[in-house]
Amino acid sequence: MTSERPTCLLIINSLAGGGAERVFTTLVTDLARFRGQCDFAVALLDNEKPEAYLLPDWIRVFRIDSNTNLIAGVKGLCELVRKLRPDVCVSFLTRANFAAIVAGRIYGCKTIISERVNTSAHLAGSGKNAVSRLIVRMLYPRADGVIAVSEGVKDTLVKDFAISPERVTVIPNPVDIDRIASLALQPAPFDIAPGDWATMGRLVPQKNVALAIRAFVASSSEGRLFVMGDGPLREELEALVRDLNAGDRVRICGFIANPYAVLGRCDAYILPSEAEGFPNAMVEAMALGKPVIATDCPSGPSEILETEASSGGPARGRGGMLVECGAVDMMAHAITALHDGELRSDLGRLARERAMEFAVERTTLGFWQVVTASLAAANRSNVQ
């Protein structure tokens, strides 16, 4: 230990960008409430530049510079844990989880891993993903505790990776509602009109942005769909827009520094994913009072909307509508239904109320309670 207070080391791959990295930064910033009871430090496995998110000045940051290499990350983190001797490590994302478990086992540090995705869906397929699934089965059950962002993620860890359900705590991602509301008031990067919609996410197969585009074009909406985000499928999606002759209805916007200025001015939000851990952007749109149309993908949307998908049509939930994955016609029907201003207003109100239940203070308190339980267990072990 580095002081009379216990030390908690928070570990993530990098802060180069992404939803998990944004969540990590939000949690670390709010942990300032507990600085009088614990010393906190951050380990970044990679020294990627530029960093998309800034950590608070009060926290120590160690950059290992493993260059995304798993073995180098494990070695670097082991060396850091050997020198720092933290009482507990809390890690985010699969590679950081692997490194934290190994380092914790070698140096006797309690390890809490945090799973931000639906593991089976995220690591589907052969090759490198098959190896990662094998490592998950070997290492994850050896963690002292596991935090899952949804019940669906927990169920996958228990069913597919033999983790005891008693060791998994479900803590949703935090939503910094005040910050989102403030950013939404800033000027938008382009004109937005009544009837316009938004979707947001990395342009990768799992996000299935093509579904949102096809459904929006198939609907009777006269507005536009703004697709915020970038990724390897951008050219393919731009080609799809041309093939559908929908250049006046769908705009691929790329990365937007402040997406909330767009979300706050659109009528509604679409989540078309094939798999999620906890859909951050969906809840952020809900926090701005926007009704959502979401696919019933594993995991998260059905839990958040508190409804179940139906093959008979869109299912109305707490803040939006749930449709089957890949169902273009069903999603188009839901989009058309939300032309009704009264329905849109009603669902938007419910959406904001639901989003308030994911406020950052509540999530950080949940993390802190898991950390303190682990510290208490470590103290009991030392006494014995």
As a whole number of angstroms, the distance between CA 180 and CA 356 comes to: 12
Q: Note whether 84 and 209 are same-domain residues.
A: no
Q: Is residue 185 part of a domain?
A: yes
User: Does residue 156 share a domain with residue 208?
Assistant: no
Within a domain: 120: yes
For the chain (length 384 residues), average pLDDT per consecutive 10? 78 87 92 94 92 92 94 97 96 95 96 87 81 92 94 92 94 92 97 97 94 97 95 97 97 94 98 92 97 93 93 95 97 96 97 94 93 82 59
Structure tokens at 43: 């380990």
Q: Which residues pair with 8 in a beta bridge?
A: 40, 88
Clarify whether residues 378 and 352 are in a common domain.
Answer: no
3-state SS class at 68: coil
CA distance 183 to 177: 10
Judgement on whether residues 289 and 162 belong to the same structural domain of the protein: no
Residue 62, beta-bridge partner list = 43
Asked whether residue 147 falls in the same domain as residue 21, the answer is yes
Q: What is the pLDDT of residue 299?
A: 84
How far apart are the C-alpha atoms of 67 and 241, rounded to whole Å? 36
How many domains, the chain? 2
Does 91 map to a domain? yes
Are residues 20 and 162 part of one domain?
yes
* Residue 374 vs residues 6, 85, 234: alpha-carbon distances, Å: 11, 15, 44
The owner of tokens 């069913």 is 159
Task: State the pLDDT at residue 383.
Answer: 56
Same structural domain, 132 and 51: yes
Model pLDDT, residue 220:
92
Query: Do both 127 and 222 map to the same domain?
Result: no
Predicted pLDDT of residue 384: 55
Quick one: how many helices (H) and strands (E) in the chain? 15, 14
Distance CA 372, CA 248 (A): 54
378 shares its domain with 322: no
| Owning domain of residue 249 | 177-358
Given its phi and psi angles, is residue 28 left (phi above 0), alpha (psi -120 to 50 degrees) or beta?
alpha
Q: Is 53 part of any domain? A: yes
Same domain, 235 and 256: yes
Cα four-point dihedral sign 358, 362, 366, 371: positive
Q: Does an H or E element contain 17, and which?
A: none
Closest to 52 in 3D by CA, of 190, 202, 196, 165: 202
pLDDT for 2:
43
Q: Distance (Å, rounded) from C-alpha 4 to C-alpha 199? A: 48
Is residue 108 one of the residues assigned to a domain? yes
Alpha-carbon distance of 218 to 371, in angstroms, equals 49
Query: In whole angstroms, what is the distance from residue 114 CA to residue 343 CA?
Result: 37
Distance of CA 44 to the CA centre of its chain: 18
154: domain CATH number?
3.40.50.2000
Question: DSSP assignment of 265-279, as one string?
Answer: TSSEEEE--S--SS-
Residue 332 phi, psi dihedral angles, 5° rounding: -60, -40
Please report the pLDDT score of residue 380 as a whole number.
64
The answer to whether residue 2 sits within a structural domain is no
Q: 158 and 88 in one domain?
A: yes
- With contact defined as beta carbons under 8 Å apart, do 89 and 77 qualify? no
Q: Evaluate whether residue 1 is within a structural domain.
A: no
The predicted model scores a pTM of 0.83
Based on the domain organization, do 57 and 136 belong to the same domain? yes
